[in-house]
Structure 1
């Protein structure tokens, strides 16, 4: 039987072919090297003394490392899960489900503002810039209501619904001089997307007057709740800390009074 001609291609031809296929379809299942997904937050705004979360998602990392570098002094802050500076405010959090390396800065100061590079240890290095903007306390005091920004999932910390019913979670952001650009929802550490689950719907509404009197509410609705929907739900505004609630889906049990 005559063998197909492609089986006799030289090694160099396979390498060239692999490169072409990789450029045409990164993420199709073949490992073609790490890359940054295009839709990622690049500007983060937080209040002084709050917690800053700078996320960096890297797909197909393979055996490479991810580092966070502060651009103003070129200090290497973290490499993979390890912190390399003597600043207890800085840590890195890795979320395996989304392949996201998040630089966490606690008690943010004005000096923390600036650009941060998320680097991949390729040759040459690949980098993505994330800009951190810090709203000083002086700016907050000049507003009519100098209260601390609040992020909360409304209601009790534990919520109960019957299997087959509708679960409704509301995340409220208030007392902030700058409303978030977006609010993401996560279930067990994995970001929720409407197009991934037809039973999930998210809406956003604004309320109040001017400045810190304004608030924004993100509502997560889960139709026909299933046991797999149970667990921790976290809402994360683009410029503030997160808030979490625990959802219980009961199958035949009585709802707590």
Structure 2
């Protein structure tokens, strides 16, 4: 009996030692950790997101081993709590927390982004102390232009080329040319980035080309993108003499409105008789009135000759 008890105690001690050894040599449980951002420019724990005003911004936050912790989103400029887990803590319903499929991704969606929404947003894990990931939101306005202008004149049989360019729209901008609602055949769009103040600005160009323009190509064409309002270009395909007449008309000075020189001349002509009469009247009151008076050197040359009903100015004789 004593021997059996000793063996039992030995077995218990071995089991306890084995369990304690495994517990002491086992790896510690990992805590929450952020997925390193892939679109940061400063090599720090921050992410950059650029969107166009009026679209939807999606701010990323990927957390591994979240376990029983929760995710909150705060606005950086005033540390305003926007969301916690799946709840929204602001009256602005544009802010929506998203956790697709219950995975490690915790997104903050901002619908109908405004320029005032730009700034820092904080993805925060409820550890002690809290872990924070910074997301920089940049909001810009997309601009669409047509080149060479919104009115294009070409000669029959010549090459027609109109280019639509959209700046500030994240790629792909999905540009298209239409005429009366019908899609037009175009070459592939050309996309690139140009340097901006804070970050590169995406640019997309799409050309409307007709190698041998015909009269039937005349009309209004519309360029559209996912970021901008439609912009129009009106094409005029003219015969040679019509185009030459149009160019001559555009090159000729317009006579519909008086030029500044003409207006100034008219004012001087209207003012000169009154000035000369006042000068003559003043001199007559001093007893020095003389017909055909020539003013002394340095006085107004427009009164070289004052006769009844006419004034002689530097531009000739004018009836008054």
TM-score (norm 2): 0.40
Which has the higher relative contact order, 1 or 2, with Cα contacts under 8 A spaced 6 or more apart?
1
Q: Relative to total residues, which structure has the larger strand share, 1 or 2?
A: 1
TM-score (norm 1): 0.49
Q: Relative to total residues, which structure has the larger helix share, 1 or 2?
A: 2
Higher gyration radius (CA): 2
